[in-house]
Structure 1
């Protein structure tokens, strides 16, 4: 079986480009039915968004202090703001708005190593909500039920990078009625609010475009992964990080010739993904990572190892048909699982991944392009309209507790 796969690896479909700026491949397939239709929806004309004008200390000044925020995987909050400012769905008349958007860059507080610290985020968010509630009447009509916030941190609006601490904090109380646009999604988790829109993390489109290789390059790597298997600094005993799934990948397959896995991050990383049939997308500290975006963009079948994950735009992208789900407990059987997938199934997944609209939906390009992640977010908001009358509060009615949460959150920001 292994020999057979090594031979097949050289004849399976090669790379397909990023969808935009690349020639259209003949080896593509459109997903049939509602998923494909939703993916190609046009949100323009179906909703209007009012953008609150906040003091620059909530957004632009934070970015000026540390421009690295433009390139990390949480940058969707910045680019979504820029997109909406010039979007045809924007309205300057709040009385006709379907949705209200508050542009706050809550993840742009970075350590010297570039890791975002979420400790100020609850105070920032609370301060901004106090501001809009004091200066405009729209928040108080619904206590945020017709407002959306982009919260792309590890555990969304729970605002902590360690899961147990995030669970302990819970979603910021003032956001309990708002719609959250977030990268985090895991079923039955306190940090995933009902009605949230799960989005892909930010991956730099121009950088990926610069690393495209010839579309007919054979896929000679069977399984590819680059990244940590153990986080020795934060999890010295090795059982908590990635719930042990990454450690299991390494221990079981480090010497397996079908698996090209390493902690090294070569300069050919993007090129290697375009030469691979399967790309592992295991959970880390959170269940998601930019590898999922990179795999889809480069036509490498994502192997999703994250139990109960809620994937980006799951009502539009047919994840079951383009990817492979492997339970965390089944990681020791990865070689058997992947080599048992029929060739015709592999080829169909590759043809679906070759569809430019599939790639476009995972990206935040500048300028925005039809069908991209910006538009998928708007599609998600449009599908939640019209708002039910129950979102509007009766005169004097209150539902949110402004003094709930840790004492530190209540300090002025």
Structure 2
């Protein structure tokens, strides 16, 4: 729908068709909200084998977040786009003040420690670059670390080891399993929690398969849109999803002149369509069953995006035209306000994509912490 009100020609659609295989069970956003609350109220993480002072620090942070003072005057954060802006700000403040991350130096290039900084897979590279160079969050003392980062590139793993047209990723999975076994044998940090305080950040849609098994407890942070397939139940608080920007001039102009941009889930997860829509100030219309949006634990996606179940595609026009101009104007405003959380900078800035990725891992770890 264009900003002058006409329908059809000005609805910007993604350039890739949706997957034909529907999931066996569809989880709505309200149901995901319940799963999120249930996850945060239960202790689903592995109990550490021995106690550590960092656990007490995180339990303290959890208490501070749950009892965060109500925000009254805040200029950087627009309250309507968050689930609870007071909790988010308090959590972010504590992250800046407390969080320490141990970055493993093990692993050979190019699969490890060699960031890709351009193209559709650039997010994992920029995160790796910023994380390894960070002086505020990184610690060389694993005893002080709240989180442990495994700096590998899922894209370079594919380019280095995948045998073209083999349709087999066995050697990639085996490579990552051997790496995890080496880490577990060399360091005791992994064994304390079974990897529950470790995390990886990956763009490629193969990453979940590459890190299965040995990495079961690790926070896996796919840096592209999440697309749950084959009926797999989404677990909102564990995975976060991010993406990089691309597009030609004509495509961009369509987005800029549209009120709504249609974002079907597609077949793979390496698509930038949702963040492209937000970047060009177009309200995203997410058509996907069991889609877990980026930063779901803190952002109220229904406040600035339209989320449509795949079965409701025939009714899409009615859904969009039923949105009043007043509601659209507010959603459009919120799209602009949320942009700051999806931008990369050559030097990380407060509330940007680098910090939001780190905050998501920090926040979800805090609400899964279990004392020994």
Same fold (TM > 0.5): yes
TM superposition shift of 1:157: 1.1
TM superposition shift of 1:370: 1.0
1:377 aligns to 2:357 (yes or no): yes
* Residue in 2 that maps onto 1:135: 186
Q: Secondary structure at the match of 2:199?
A: strand
TM superposition shift of 1:50: 0.1
Q: Secondary structure at the match of 1:202?
A: coil
Maintained 8 Å contact 1:156/1:191? no
Aligned length: 292
Q: Secondary structure at the match of 1:308?
A: coil
Maintained 8 Å contact 2:81/2:299? no
**Structure 2 matches for 1:233-252, cutoff 5 A?**
none
> For the residues of structure 2 that align with 1:339 and 1:194, how far apart are their CA atoms?
30
The alignment yields a C-alpha RMSD, in angstroms, of: 3.5
Maintained 8 Å contact 1:278/1:302? yes
1:50 aligns to 2:102 (yes or no): yes
* Residue in 1 that maps onto 2:47: none
> For the residues of structure 1 that align with 2:132 and 2:176, how far apart are their CA atoms?
20
1:178 aligns to 2:218 (yes or no): yes
Maintained 8 Å contact 2:83/2:300? no
1:360 aligns to 2:337 (yes or no): no
Q: Secondary structure at the match of 1:272?
A: helix
| Cα distance change of structure 1 residues 191 and 49 upon mapping to structure 2, 3 Å threshold | farther
TM superposition shift of 1:58: 5.1
Which of the two has greater helix per residue? 2
> For the residues of structure 1 that align with 2:221 and 2:234, how far apart are their CA atoms?
10
Structure 2 unmatched runs, 5+: 11-76
1:95 aligns to 2:147 (yes or no): no
> For the residues of structure 2 that align with 1:304 and 1:194, how far apart are their CA atoms?
16
> For the residues of structure 1 that align with 2:87 and 2:206, how far apart are their CA atoms?
27
CA offset digits 1:312-343 (Å, max 9, x no partner): 00122221010111221221222222112111
TM superposition shift of 1:185: 5.2
Q: Secondary structure at the match of 1:173?
A: coil
TM superposition shift of 1:156: 4.1
* Residue in 1 that maps onto 2:199: 148
| Cα distance change of structure 1 residues 327 and 288 upon mapping to structure 2, 3 Å threshold | farther
Q: Secondary structure at the match of 1:279?
A: strand
> For the residues of structure 2 that align with 1:70 and 1:2, how far apart are their CA atoms?
34
Structure 1 unmatched runs, 5+: 11-27, 64-68, 160-170, 205-264, 391-413
> For the residues of structure 2 that align with 1:3 and 1:193, how far apart are their CA atoms?
36
CA offset digits 1:357-380 (Å, max 9, x no partner): x11212333221110122112222
| Cα distance change of structure 1 residues 35 and 302 upon mapping to structure 2, 3 Å threshold | farther
> For the residues of structure 2 that align with 1:329 and 1:83, how far apart are their CA atoms?
41
